[in-house]
């Protein structure tokens, strides 16, 4: 089989039996343990190494929400050309790499379960995002609709658990950065540290209720791992 050509299984959100690899492309492999479980993306360029023992107070891994956090939120997007990084996203991931802290993504994508977003399209979006903001060790996606009652749609903790398993870290050793209360809810239910980076869509009540906030992604990473800002970057 040509490994350069995407091979997609039947619709993953409605599979009648547990799946192993559900998509393999030139850049990554996706797998799903069963229809109620998250989709997990492992880039071919990353072996997802176990995170090193951190300095006191540092997380061993940092997980980011995707839409509205790492990239601009474009509802129902299927076009990689519409991916736009959020302010200081690339700087934040570069700082984590410099600090030796793995980064991942945890994202609700219900359009997969609705049949509006094919897994090949989802992979193309994530490949484009990594080309713009830098590599990620793991991505965990909830493909289910809100009414499906799964355990991985944020604010449920399943995506955090799935990403932590790949990275070989415990949730209490992990931080989750997002832009809405559901992101912090997933962090709290998993036992991880939550950091809110508000944007124009973030409700004022969510910001007030957040245990930790940061003005932008680079500031969030500096607060978590003590990484210095890049000269000329946001402060």
Structure confidence at residue 7 (pLDDT): 37
C-alpha span between 97 and 37 (Å, rounded): 29
Domain boundaries defined on the chain = 22-225
Structure confidence at residue 45 (pLDDT): 76
pLDDT tens, N- to C-terminus, the chain (235 residues): 333 333 333 333 333 344 589 999 999 999 999 999 999 999 987 544 445 555 567 899 999 999 999 999 999 999 999 999 999 999 999 999 999 999 999 999 999 999 999 999 999 999 999 999 999 999 999 999 999 999 999 999 999 999 999 999 999 999 999 999 999 999 999 999 999 999 999 999 999 999 999 999 999 999 999 855 443 444 4
Cα dihedral 202, 205, 206, 207 sign: positive
Structure confidence at residue 57 (pLDDT): 74
C-alpha span between 69 and 213 (Å, rounded): 13
**Is 67 assigned a catalytic role?**
yes
Neighbours of 204 (CB within 10 A): 8
Structure confidence at residue 13 (pLDDT): 39
**Is 148 assigned a catalytic role?**
no
CATH superfamily of 22-225: HAD superfamily/HAD-like (3.40.50.1000)
Backbone φ and ψ of 181, nearest 5°: -60, -30
Given 33, 67, 111, 148, the catalytic residue: 67
Given 33, 65, 73, 111, the catalytic residue: 65
Structure confidence at residue 51 (pLDDT): 52
Structure confidence at residue 169 (pLDDT): 96
pTM here is: 0.86
Beta strands in the chain (DSSP E): 7-8, 21-24, 28-31, 39-43, 61-64, 103-108, 138-142, 174-178, 193-196
């Amino acid at each position: 089989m040509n490994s350069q050509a995407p091979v997609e299984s039947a619709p993953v959100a409605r599979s009648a039996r547990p799946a192993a690899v559900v998509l393999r492309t030139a850049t990554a492999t996706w797998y799903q343990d069963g229809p109620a479980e998250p989709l997990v993306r492992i880039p071919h360029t990353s072996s997802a190494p176990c995170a090193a023992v951190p300095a006191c107070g540092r997380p061993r891994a940092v997980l980011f929400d995707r839409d509205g956090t790492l990239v601009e939120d474009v509802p129902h997007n299927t076009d990689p050309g519409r991916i736009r990084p959020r302010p200081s996203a690339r700087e934040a991931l570069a700082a984590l790499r410099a600090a030796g802290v793995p980064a991942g993504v945890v994202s609700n994508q219900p359009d997969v379960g609705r049949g509006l977003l094919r897994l090949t399209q989802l992979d193309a979006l994530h490949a484009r995002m990594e080309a713009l903001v830098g590599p990620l060790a793991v991505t965990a996606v909830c493909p289910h609709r809100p009414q499906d009652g799964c355990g991985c749609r944020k604010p449920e903790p399943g995506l955090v658990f799935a990403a932590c398993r790949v990275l070989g870290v415990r949730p209490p050793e992990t931080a989750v950065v997002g832009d809405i209360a559901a992101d912090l809810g997933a962090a709290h239910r998993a036992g991880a540290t939550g950091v809110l980076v508000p944007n124009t869509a973030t409700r004022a009540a969510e910001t007030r209720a957040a245990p930790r906030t940061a003005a932008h992604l680079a500031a969030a990473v500096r607060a978590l791992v003590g990484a210095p800002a890049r000269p000329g970057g946001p402060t």
